Amino acid sequence: MGDDWGRDEAGEAGCSGCERRLNASHSDHARLLLSRFVAMSAFLGVRPIVGAACIALLIAACGREPAPAPANVVLVTVDTLRADRVSFDRYALPTTPFLASLAEEGVVFEQAYAPSSWTPPSMASLFTSVYPTTHGVTSGGIRDGAAHRQPVLGERFVTLAELAREAGYLTIGVPANRHLSEELGFGQGFDHYYGEAGFLKASEVNREVLRLMQAAFGPNWRLERKRHKLFLWVHYFDPHDPYVPYEPWTRVYDPGFRRDDPQSPAFLIMKDLQKRFPEITPELRARIGRLYDAEIRRFDDHFAALWQELGFGDETLLVMTADHGEAMGERGRLGHSHSLHEEQIHVPFLARWPERLPRGLRIDEPVGILDVYPTLAELMGAPIPESARGRSLVPLFEEGFDPSAQARTVPLYYELHRPRTPTTGLRSGRWKLLVERRKRGERRQLFDLEADRGELRDVSAEHPELLERLTAQAEAWREALERGEAETRELTDPETLEQLRAMGYVE
């Protein structure tokens, strides 16, 4: 791989106070089914009416033995990874051959979406299964001369890691993004956590995982970990700018690359890249794409090495997705966090667990990464909190499910809390609505994603009644959202601020 591996000792990073926020009867299978029913009702905006007969049916269903939980759960999230650039999602180049091999043994969700287009709101939603407005982690930057400010993920939520720990899993988290640090609330529920959450390259992420494995299980961790259930979350950062031309990956995907080329976008953080290249030409897009592909392949190779080092087998449930995508010249933009168009929110999503999940199943029903939490909760045999706004995807890949019968009736919503142009998005079947709220009025766009995947043609004028109906639906959803208030914490560490400023998160 060209990178050395290290194994150091580390201290523990835990949390407290989660048990009191969980229902007392976690082992009651009827409560699991009932909570799933209530959560789906809330998601659809329907008031559940649960009478004695319905409860009796739920209890009767519990006569069946619940399916065994996975021995391990591995959640891998990748920063800034578009769905259309991974090879298991039909990209022409082999950017993710290892993940593609795992996808052949599992389930691929071809239309998976993040709830926003940058890291803090999306990852907070993944770990709570609530929308950004509700958890409140929606901003960050310089305001009124103060240092970078980001709302802290509140303790009122039962996070996915807390749920896993209550279900008997030892929890380890290694995020390579400062937005996901322990002091910003993302360490809740983890027994061992890389709290600093530095912007690490893949080889460094792997070393940190191995360090925490040794901290959790001791020097003989390879054997000892098999005596415990493990929940492991790893967040890789590699596809994010700046695009660093590591070898041998750049040689494969960009054979003509030269480090002394003044027209190369390599090494530039997004803010500087946009300054140097004010005009986004087809050649610039191609150059960025080649470097981006090389970074993705670098991640895939390192994750393959980590998977082999950890020795996971068919008893382990793997879920892989991303926090958001990346614009590469579409609509004249580069980067992310400035729109809810497909290139910035359509993300890869696969699940593999050979002992239970079907092999080689591809599902094209739109789903969201808010669905990760309730899906893992059900597979782990844990209750789905009533606050969850995602849905369990287990019914989509249960035995006997017919993919051709997917109804696509469950709507997806998106949010972007930009100060000047807050945006709401709604996906309903083939239709996607975007509503930008500006001082001078709303801008509404309607796209037919089956006919126009790139969202090049606004069809609002052709479907005025549909536009009004979806607008009313999106507005009703937005008004009904619970508004969360989160503590804002200032990050004043100069090194952290400089890294965030360099990548455009801080002005």
DSSP E strands, 176-238: 192-193, 229-236
Of 408, 427, 443, at which residue does a domain stop?
408
Q: Is residue 87, in this structure, part of any structural domain at all?
A: yes
Report how far apart, in Å, the C-alpha atoms of 127 and of each of 26, 260, 266, 393 are.
19, 43, 33, 16
CATH code at position 384: 3.40.720.10
Residues 41 and 117 in one domain: no
Distances in Å between the Cα of 243 and the Cα atoms of 361, 399, 457 are 33, 43, 31
Q: Is the pLDDT of residue 140 over 80?
A: no
Which of 32-46, 67-81, 431-445, 472-486 has the least mean pLDDT? 32-46
Last-in-domain residue among 408, 428, 451: 408
Residue 140 covered by a domain: yes
Asked, for residue 7, whether it belongs to a domain, the answer is no
CB count, 10 Å around CB of 329? 16
**Using one digit for the tens of pLDDT, what is the confidence trace for 282-301?**
999 999 999 999 999 999 99
Task: Label residue 53 by pLDDT band (50, 70, 90).
Answer: very low
Distance (Å, whole) CA 445 – CA 33 = 39
Average pLDDT, the chain: 84
Q: 179 pLDDT exceeds 70?
A: yes
Q: How many domains does the chain have?
A: 2
Is residue 481 situated within a structural domain?
no
Residues 242 and 304 both lie in one domain:
yes
Instruction: Report the candidate in 269, 471, 435 with the shortest Cα–Cα distance to residue 339.
Output: 435
Assess whether 257 and 174 both reside in one domain: yes
Q: Which of 37-41, 56-60, 499-503 has the highest mean pLDDT?
A: 499-503
Q: Which of 1-10, 257-266, 334-343, 452-461 has the lowest mean pLDDT?
A: 1-10
SS3 annotation, 64-100: CCCCCCCCEEEEEEECCCCHHHCHHHCCCCCCCHHHH
User: What gap in Å lies between CA 25 and CA 40, rounded to an integer?
Assistant: 20
User: Is 313 a residue whose pLDDT tops 90?
Assistant: yes
Last residue of a domain, which of 350, 380, 408? 408
Residue 215 has pLDDT above 80, yes or no: yes
Instruction: Indicate whether 260 and 310 sit together in one domain.
Output: yes
In this structure, is residue 60 part of a structural domain?
yes
Query: pLDDT tens for residues 188-207?
Result: 999 999 988 888 999 999 99
Q: What domain range includes position 31?
A: 26-66
Domain assignment present for residue 212? The answer is yes
Residue 483 within a domain: no
Which pLDDT belongs to residue 506? 53
Residue 56 has pLDDT above 80, yes or no: no
Res 65: pLDDT: 63
Domain shared by 31 and 87, yes or no: no
Q: What percent of the chain has pLDDT over 70?
A: 79
User: Is the per-residue pLDDT at 58 higher than 80?
Assistant: no
Q: Do 404 and 381 fall into the same domain?
A: yes
Quickly state the pLDDT bin for 452 (edges 50, 70, 90). very high
Q: Is the N-terminal amide bond of 242 cis, ω within 30° of 0?
A: yes
